[in-house]
A = this chain, B = another copy of it.
Amino acid sequence: MGNVLILFHSKSGNTAKMATEVAEGARRIPGTEVRLRSVQEATAEDVRWCHGIAVGSPVNMGILAWEMKQFWDTKMPDDWSKIDGRLGCAFSSQGGWGGGGELTCQSIHTILINFGFLVFGLPDYVAHQFNVHYGATISGEPREPREIESCRRLGQRLAEWVAVYADGRKEEHPLTSGRVRFPW
Q: A residues bordering B, Cβ < 8 Å?
A: 60-67, 69-70, 72-74, 76, 80-82, 84-85, 87, 95-103, 106-107, 109-111, 113-125, 128-137, 139-140, 150, 161, 164-165, 168, 173-175, 181-182
> In this complex, which of A60, A69, A136 has the most chain B Cβ atoms within 10 angstroms of its Cβ?
A69
> Which 4 residue pairs of A and B lie closest in terms of their CB atoms, listed nearest first?
A66-B69, A62-B114, A118-B118, A96-B129
Q: Which of B65, B96, B107, B121 contacts A113 (CB 8 A)?
A: B121
Q: What CA separation (Å) do A60 and B161 show in the bound complex?
A: 25
Which B-chain residue is minimally distant from A60 (CB atoms)?
A: B73
Q: Which of B110, B120, B161 contacts A63 (CB 8 A)?
A: B110
Contact A116 B111 (CB under 8 A): no
Q: Which of B66, B100, B123 contacts A73 (CB 8 A)?
A: B66
Contact B133 A84 (CB under 8 A): no
Q: Which of B103, B128, B140, B164 contacts A134 (CB 8 A)?
A: B103
Q: What CA separation (Å) do A74 and B137 show in the bound complex?
A: 23
Q: 8 A-B Cβ contacts within 8 A?
A: A63-B69, A63-B107, A70-B70, A96-B125, A97-B97, A107-B107, A119-B119, A165-B165
